[in-house]
């Protein structure tokens, strides 16, 4: 099935599990938080998909497009905060939003009713303070069921006051308490086309190379061959990318190539010193 980010949400949720348990007498307040910068193309559809939350807060970084105005028109609260890095931005949102539970969603993601039901159940009936949610990734408009993009668990649901973020990119959430895993998925409209994919992967390769250099790692000649081969085998064979057909083969080859780019960039960083 091929979809676009602005199509109506599917009436199904893959591998969905209905939640029918009765909620406790007192229900916790749930706030969905969307971090944004220039997300006018996505923001209204994202907000509409979260109508089951008590509040939706768009935590914006002074967008230069119509993101804030469109979010307000869609019924969300808008807060502004200058962007430094993703960990700082999420921590700033946690500091400013008073609620019982926070559910972080990206603008290119969509909630579903069954996911909302499950979240309502766990925040009112379970002791865990953090929850991972799986994602169904649509890459180039195609649902990607393997190749490392499913279940793609993301730690996004937190009891307020029990989580802080660290690390600027691919930030890590440190939760004070137990963590559970939800069954129902977010829908993620990831990488709209190959140009978008390559731009993001180049940025990730640069960042990962900088981390390797900071840890004192120097590239060796075999890294340029073995690391891409390992990445391809891991994606295409171990993570069953072959089940995604030609789509999975293409993604596996792309990710192998960016392993080579990472080590080439690492070598450049060392020469620059």
Q: What is the pLDDT of residue 247?
A: 98
Kindly report the CATH number that applies to the domain delimited by 30-190: 3.90.550.10
Given a contact cutoff of 8 angstroms between Cβ atoms, the answer to whether 60 and 142 are in contact is no
Beta strands in 150-210 (DSSP E): 154-159, 163-166, 172-175, 179-181, 186-190
* pLDDT of the residue at 130: 97
Cα 92–chain centre separation:
18
> Which residues of the chain carry a pLDDT beneath 50?
1-25
pLDDT in the model for residue 264: 97
Q: pLDDT tens digits for 146-158?
A: 999 999 999 999 9
Please report the pLDDT score of residue 26 as a whole number. Answer: 65
At 115-132, the pLDDT tens digits run 999 999 999 999 999 999
Can you give the pLDDT at residue 94? Answer: 97
- pLDDT score, position 196: 94
Q: How much is the pLDDT for 171?
A: 81
Q: In the prediction, which pLDDT does 17 show?
A: 43
Long-range interactions of 191-197: CB distance < 8 A, separation 24+: 191/139, 191/140, 192/5, 192/140, 192/141, 193/140, 194/140, 197/139, 197/140, 197/254
Strands ordered across the beta sheet of 135-139 = 109-110, 186-190, 135-139, 142-143
pTM: 0.83
Please give the torsion angle defined by the CA atoms of residues 238, 242, 246 and 252, in that order, rounded to the nearest 10 degrees.
Answer: 0
Per-domain residue ranges of the chain: 30-190, 194-272
User: Please, which residues have CB within 8 angstroms of residue 192's CB and are 6 or more apart in sequence?
Assistant: 5, 140, 141
**Region at 237 (left for phi over 0; alpha for psi -120 to 50; beta for the rest):** alpha
* 217's tokens: 């790692």
């Amino acid at each position: 099935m091929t979809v676009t980010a602005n199509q109506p949400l599917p009436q199904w949720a893959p591998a969905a599990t209905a939640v029918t348990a009765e909620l406790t007498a007192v229900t916790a307040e749930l706030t969905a938080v969307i971090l944004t910068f220039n997300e006018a193309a996505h923001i209204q559809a994202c907000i509409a998909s979260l109508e089951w939350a008590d509040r939706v807060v768009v935590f914006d970084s002074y967008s230069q497009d119509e993101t804030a105005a469109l979010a307000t028109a869609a019924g969300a609260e808008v807060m502004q905060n200058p962007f430094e890095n993703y960990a700082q931005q999420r921590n700033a949102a946690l500091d400013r939003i008073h609620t019982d539970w926070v559910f972080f969603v990206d603008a290119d993601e969509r909630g579903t009713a069954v996911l909302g039901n499950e979240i309502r159940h766990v925040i009112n009936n379970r002791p865990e303070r953090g929850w991972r949610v799986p994602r169904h990734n649509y890459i180039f408009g195609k649902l990607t069921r393997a190749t490392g993009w499913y279940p793609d668990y993301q730690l996004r649901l937190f009891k307020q006051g029990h989580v802080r973020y660290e690390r600027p990119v691919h930030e890590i959430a440190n939760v004070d308490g137990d963590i559970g895993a939800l069954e129902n998925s977010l829908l993620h409209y990831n990488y709209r086309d190959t140009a978008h994919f390559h731009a993001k992967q180049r940025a990730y390769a640069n960042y990962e190379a900088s981390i390797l250099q900071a840890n004192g790692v120097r590239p060796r000649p075999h890294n340029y061959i073995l690391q891409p081969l390992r990445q391809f085998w891991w994606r295409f064979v171990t993570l069953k990318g072959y089940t995604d057909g030609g789509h999975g083969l293409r993604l596996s080859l792309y990710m192998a190539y960016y392993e080579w780019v990472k080590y080439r960039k690492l070598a450049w960083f060392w020469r620059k010193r």
